[in-house]
Structure formats: structure tokens, C-alpha cells
Structure 1
Amino acid sequence: MAALSVLMIAVSTAAFYLVYSVLERWRFFTPVPAEHVDTTRLDIGITLVVCLVGLIIAVAVASWLARRIIRPVSAVGDAARRIAQGDLASRVNLAGALHGETAALVDDFNAMAHRLQRMAEDVSIWNAQIAHELRTPLTILQGRLQGAKDGVFKLDDALVDGLLGQVVGLTRLVEDLRSVSLADSGRLDLSMSDFDLSAEIKGMAPALRSILEPAGFSLVLDLEPGVIHADSGRIRQAILALVENARRHAHPCEVRVANRFINNQALISVTDKGPGVPPAMEQDVFRQFVRGPQPNGGSGLGLAVVRSIARAHGGNVRYQRENSTSIFEIDLVVTLIDTSSH
């Protein structure tokens, strides 16, 4: 930067004399008489002094700017090398205020490093949680089958039904894992079609009641007709997951499933009178393998699947607490089909 400053001073001085000579030739002003010397030693001395002072100022400013730019960039480079070597906790911590592009660079780098560290931690948690979730049903299957082979258990319908129940649970766990993984990589396939959302939810009522009523819950539907273009199978999966979540965590109460439309959004809500999500968990309730404070037999994937389905439709899912009511609401960015002309 200092060399560039010196070059700019030289170019500026040369350009000044060039423009001056051109203006003199075109007689924009009266030229100096021939008997007068137009350049004296004093002129040369003043020019050299001005150039020297300008050079000193330019070098000082260039050095100051270079330190402001190079210091954070060098710190980012050092932190990046530490992260490449496996230290994902490395961050850029600089004393003093940063401004402009350098501040944005440091903030973006630290945010990227934090997300990378969290993803690595999530992978470790995933591996441990998947092993934990698979171990119990596989152990049961192995023990029952080995017992049946050794004659300890009688291979009757009750035993077969119990084994089938474990297999169904494994199948559901694998499908949930697959849905979340595909959604995280942006490759969750959607089978889009036109259907009436209220009719689809109404058709689910018998299945929903079979989940709720044995546990002492009741189902109430509050539906608004409207034809949308979306994946009906995935939306049914999301509603089932929310209703199952209410059954597991809420006290016996009325579970309300409702839908409404706002512009190009379809909103689906499931409300209950349960104790709600603890405030400390509200930010993480839709992450994988997050469970409530009370054991309930769930895998911790249900709400993560709901979020994946909502995001695959361009929307999201959110939780809110109003008085004694817990509300889980899915918003889907969908195409509303006008059927008034049919």
C-alpha cells in the first residue's frame, strides 16, 4: 500500500505538469514570458517537500489501514487452519472494535464455525441416539426369537403379535430417520396433487380418534374448505405426528385440529390443554431426538419430521403457549386451487 501511495503521488505530479503544458499550449492562460524562468530552485524544493510530506502521510495512513485489514484477515486465516486440523471450537476473538467489511467477515466466520461445530455435535448425537433407539427393539426381537427357538416361549399368536409390534416400531423409526435426513439434505420427495385439505383431515378423524380416545382424549375438528396443491401423504404424516405428540405429553383433554387459509398459506394447528413445552426447550423442541422432561416412549423424532415436511413445502412449524393452551401450527406455502368455476 505504501508503494501504491508513492506511485499515485508520482502519477499525480506528472499528470499535473502534463495538463498544465496542454492548457498553456492551447493558451487558456498567458504563458510565462521567455525572459522569465518559470521553474526555480525554490519551486523544485517546494515540490519535493510537498511530495515528501505527502509520502510520509500516505505511508502512515497506508500502514494504519493495512493493520486494520491484515489483522482480522490473519486471525480468520489462523482460525480456519485450526478448524481444518479438527479444532471446531476455534473462533476469532479480536480486542477492539471492528468496522465495515472486516467486522462482517469476522461475524460470518464465527457464525459458520458455530454452525459447523453444532452439526458435528449433532452427528455424534445422532449416532448415539440411533444406536440407543435400535438397541431396545432389536434386543427384544433377539431375545424372544431365541427363547422361542429354545422352547422357553411358546410361538403362539400373542408372541407373533408382540414381535410384529416391535418390527412396526422399527419400520416407523427408520422411516422417520429417512424423512429427516432427506429433508436436511433438501432431497425429500413430494408427491404433489390437488386435494381438499379439510376433507383430507376429516377423513383422518377415525384414525385420530383411535389414537386419542383410548387414552381419555377427545377430538374436535374446526375445518375450512379449500383445495390446495401439496403432498397429501406427507401432510397426513405431519398431523398424525402432532396428534401423537399431544397424546404422549398432554393430560386427557380436548385435542383440536383446525385449518385456515391466509393468502398463499395453508395453516394447520393442533391444540391441547397439556402442560406445554418447558421454556428452556422451546428453541430446540423441533430438533432431532429432543424429548420432554417426562419419559413417554417416543423416539424424539416426531416433531423433527413435522418440521421437515413443513420446510419441504416452503413453510415451517412453530409452537406457542396461550394461557393454558399449547398450540403447534404448521404453515405451508401452497398453491390454492380456485374451484368456483367448476
Structure 2
Amino acid sequence: MITAAKDFLKRHWPALRLRTILLAVLLFAATMPAVEAVWLRGYENALVRQTEAELAAQAVALSATAAALWPGAAPATGPGQAPEPEAAPIDLNSAAVLADRPPPAPAKAQADPAAVAAAARLAPIFTETSRGALASIVMLDRHGLVVRGLGLGGDLSALPEVRQALAGHSETVLRRNAAYHPRYAMEWLSRASDIRLHYARPIVVDGQVVGALLLSRSPRALFRGVYEERGKMLLGAGVIIVLLIGLSGLASRGVTRPVEALSAATRAVAAGHGTVPETPPTAAIEIRDLYEDFRSMAAAIQRRSRYLRDFAAAVSHEFKTPLASIGGAVELLQDHYQTMEAADRERFLANIAADNDRLSHLVGRLLDLARADMAQPEADAASDASTAARRIADARSHPGFAVTVDAPPDLPLAAAPEAVLESMLSTLVDNSRQARASQVTIAARQVDSCIVLTVADDGPGVPAADQTRLFEPFFTTRRAEGGTGLGLPIARSLAEAHGGHIRLGAAAAGAVFELSLPVLAR
């Protein structure tokens, strides 16, 4: 089951860039405090509104009871007075927070006797309601004088919420709580900790406002509410942890693990016994490109190592025979110089000179090959392929060996120096001459963005067994005639150094070589 799930993820894993993975992790980390703050603010505002709704419900019940028990009130015979539409719930984010409720001002007149009588009747109800709801309940007469509750006999008519209630409208205000003392260690984080809600509601009897009720209570403590909602909080924390684990897994699969695997492969390849692992499908795009680049580099290093190994073996073989011949001739001359016939001495010296010339020629060709391998394209280098081909044809043609050129007059310039182009053409033409061809044709044409020069001869062609080794250094069928087997490898290295290539083409008779070079960009 787990293996099937892993295989499914590998097949359907999206190709993500490294910057995308890092951006997702950083954005998640950056937004978490903001998300938490918004959630806490929203939850705290909900607690304040819940407290307001509880106060309003209590005030509705108490004002209706007061209206029913008010002295002289007519008995209710109908559905009663239409309920007053409630104002929009208070918003902790935008509502102004007033100062703590001031003590009542001294009264300038006597309280309404009807209100005092009603307060006496309602006293048991107020007491039980206040005890159960943990709210302060103050009853006022129609002039704003306190007839029940804190500040009995004082005047609260100056308070804005009381003025609204006596005008027939319910009102909720937020005020500071001077008696507040922190109870929780982190309570300072809450905006509502030192706030108290004050809700004022009119008492209406027979269509007239005869008094008001002023209820106040502190909102539910945020931290108490959080404690009560700890199950949901723990669930949210668990979701966050799961998301963090998922993001860390994304970073691990996309960056860390592929880099570690590539690092281990690097050490193994450097030790000479490792292979590049398969590119992980869950890796970031940049890491995938890094794997492909490393695989190309490892392959190039392997090819270069094999080339150097074969090159060293070939050089050793090529140098061994003439050096052995020179050594044997020198030894014979040292041992028998005085008794040796003059003709024999001349013959041995001639052999030494010939082997020396062969070694000198071989060293020169090796230097040419090294320069070709390290050649770099020259900026703005250009050559006219038609002119270079005709120059080679004029220089190489002689009785019994004809070189002709077939090139259009409007051929664009090739992006290679003239000397390099002529060197490659000379090698191909000389190769045909040494194969005992009598006719060579150099044809030039443009194919897409390349100049293609075809060197075709009427010689015996290249045997099938030799075609795969034709461009290997030191491979030659003319070793007895002084061939070094470096001409074609040098020409190929020069072509590749300038963005082109040389290959053996298909031919019904003779040999055909194709030299391709890029067109000079204008």
C-alpha cells in the first residue's frame, strides 16, 4: 500500500522550481502569526458580541417584567407593544472605548415614586438575575435617577447610553473597567481584558418611557474561552503541525534529499567507482537540471578518461617501435663501430635518422592535436568556403590527381578562420590522395544555418570494418608509409571547436566526407 502510494506520487508529482518551494515555506511561516492574530481577534470579537447578546436578552426580559409590574400600568389585553429593532452588534475593532463609568451626580430632585415602587417589586428578580448572569443591574426613573443598584439616589442622566435609553432607544457602549486586575499570564494580549459592556434599555409603559435599565458586564475572558475551546485549538495546532511536516517533506524531497544523493554520487564518481543516480521525479526543477548537468559532466569525464587512457597506450605504442630501433642501432654501433663495414654504418645511421624524423613528425602532429582539442572559436572569425575550396584545389591538383570545386557564388560566410577551414579541407583532400584516388570533388552548399562542404573521391572507399575507427587517434592503414593516424582526429577537433562536425557519408563508390560549419551570424 505504501509502495503504491509512493509510486503514484512519483508519477504525478508536479515539477516545482526551487524558488517556489522556498517561497511557499517562507509565506507559510510569515502568514502564521497574521492568521493566528486574525483568528484571535475574530474570536475575541465574537465573545464580546455574545456578551452583548446575553445582556440584551436579560434586559428585554427585565424591562418587560418592569413594564408589567409598574404601578398604574394598564393590564395587557393585546399582543403588546411592537418590539424595538435592535441596533447592529457592537464591533470591538471599530467601536470607541469610553472611560470608566463615573459615579452618579447628586440628584437635584426626588426620584419618581412609581419607579421606586416598581424597583421594590422587582428587587428579588433583579437579585437572582444578577447572581445568575454575573451582571450589574441598575434601574433608573424617567429622569435618569438611580432607584435600584449602585449609586442609589444619584443622577446618571449625563451618560450617553442613558440619554439614548430615556429617548426610547437601546444602546451599547464599551467602557474601561477601572477595577480590572489581570488573572492570566498572557492576558495583556487581549483587547477586551479591561473592557466592560454597558447596555441601556428603556422601560416603556402605555407607550411612554417611564425609566430605563442599565446592565453592565465584562466580556467572557478570551483565555477562558480559549480554554473552553481547547479541543478546537488543539485540532488547529495539529493541522498546522501536519502542514509544517508536509512543507518540510516538500523541501526534503525537492531539495535536501536530491542534493545529498548527488553529493554522495559526486564522491563516488571522483573515486572512480560510482554512477550518477536517476533524477528524482520529486526534485525541484533546478535540482533536476543539476542532475542532468552532472550526468553530462560525468559522461564527458568518463569519455575523456577513456580517451586519455587510449591515447597514452597509443602514444606508447607509436614511440616504442622507433625508439627500440634507434636503441638497437646505437647499441650495434657502440659495440661494432670499429669492425663494421662503412656501408653497414651508413645504413644504421640512416635508420636512426629516419626513426628520428618519424618521432619528430609524430611529436608535431601530437602538438597539432593538442592545439585542436584546446581550440576556442574566434569572435567574428569568417571565411569564404568557395574561395578556400578553390585555393586547396589549385594547390593540390597535379597530373593524375584532379581536384574540382562545385560551389554557388552567393554562399554565405562560414564562422571559422580561413586557415582552419583550409587545414581541414587539406586533410580531407590529402586523405583521398593517399587512398590512391584520381578525382576529388569539393561541393559546397547551405543547409539551414550551416555551410556543408562535401569532399568526394573515386578511390577504393573506406572498408566497413574501419569506418567506426576512422576518427580514432593513431588509427591508420598506412603506418608503413609514415602515416600517424592523426590527420582526421585533428580535423574533427578543429571542426567541433568551431561549432561544426566532420563525418563519413554514405557513398556507392569511393569515400565521401561531410564538413559542416555554422553560418556567420550577422
Residue aligned with 1:328, SS: strand
**Structure 1 residue 286 displacement after superposition:** 3.0
Question: 2:362 & 2:333 partners in 1: Cα distance?
Answer: 25
Counterpart code for 2:404:
L
In the TM superposition, 1:170-185 aligns within 5 A as: 170-185=359-374
In the TM superposition, 1:143-292 aligns within 5 A as: 143-144=328-329, 150=337, 151=340, 154=343, 165-186=354-375, 196-206=387-397, 209=398, 213=400, 218-224=401-407, 231-247=417-433, 254-260=439-445, 266-272=451-457, 274-276=460-462, 278=464, 282=468, 285-289=470-474, 291=475
Aligned twin of 2:302: 117
Q: Is the 8 A contact 1:313 1:334 kept in 2?
A: no
Aligned twin of 2:156: none
**Structure 1 residue 90 displacement after superposition:** 0.7
**Structure 1 residue 302 displacement after superposition:** 1.4
Residue aligned with 2:506, SS: strand
Aligned twin of 2:38: 16
Counterpart code for 2:393:
K
Structure of higher CA gyration radius? 2
Question: 1:199 & 1:272 partners in 2: Cα distance?
Answer: 16
Aligned twin of 2:276: 92
TM-score, length of structure 1 as denominator length: 0.69
- Which segments of 5 or more consecutive residues in structure 1 lack a partner in the other structure? 337-342
**Structure 1 residue 258 displacement after superposition:** 3.3
Residue aligned with 2:511, SS: strand
Q: Is the 8 A contact 1:316 1:331 kept in 2?
A: yes
Aligned twin of 2:263: 77
Cα RMSD, aligned residues only: 4.6
Cα distance change, pair 98–253 in 1 and its aligned pair in 2 (3 A)? farther
Question: 2:368 & 2:93 partners in 1: Cα distance?
Answer: 80
Counterpart code for 2:405:
D
Question: 1:44 & 1:227 partners in 2: Cα distance?
Answer: 80
**How many equivalent residue pairs?**
317
In the alignment, is residue 104 of structure 1 matched against residue 126 of structure 2? Answer: no
Counterpart code for 2:310:
I
Given candidates 465, 478, 497, the residue that maps to 1:296 is 478
- Which structure has greater helix proportion? 1
**Structure 1 residue 77 displacement after superposition:** 1.6
Per-residue CA deviations over 1:203-254 (Å, capped at 9, x if unaligned) read 2224xx58xx5xxxx4341243679686444434322322343355x57564
Q: Is the 8 A contact 2:444 2:451 kept in 1?
A: yes
Residue aligned with 2:272, SS: coil
Q: Is the 8 A contact 2:428 2:488 kept in 1?
A: yes
Question: 2:275 & 2:173 partners in 1: Cα distance?
Answer: 66
Per-residue CA deviations over 1:32-51 (Å, capped at 9, x if unaligned) read 97365485345564344212
Higher relative contact order (CA 8 A, sep 6+): 1
Given candidates 42, 46, 52, the residue that maps to 2:232 is 46
Identity over the aligned pairs, expressed in percent?
Answer: 22
Question: 2:315 & 2:352 partners in 1: Cα distance?
Answer: 20
- Which segments of 5 or more consecutive residues in structure 2 lack a partner in the other structure? 1-21, 45-90, 96-171, 175-196, 198-216
Residue aligned with 2:323, SS: helix
Question: 1:235 & 1:330 partners in 2: Cα distance?
Answer: 9
Cα distance change, pair 279–152 in 1 and its aligned pair in 2 (3 A)? same
**Structure 1 residue 306 displacement after superposition:** 0.5
Given candidates 55, 62, 77, the residue that maps to 2:248 is 62
Per-residue CA deviations over 1:37-85 (Å, capped at 9, x if unaligned) read 485345564344212222124314523652554333222222222334x
Q: Is the 8 A contact 1:6 1:55 kept in 2?
A: no
TM-score, length of structure 2 as denominator length: 0.48
**Structure 1 residue 334 displacement after superposition:** 6.6
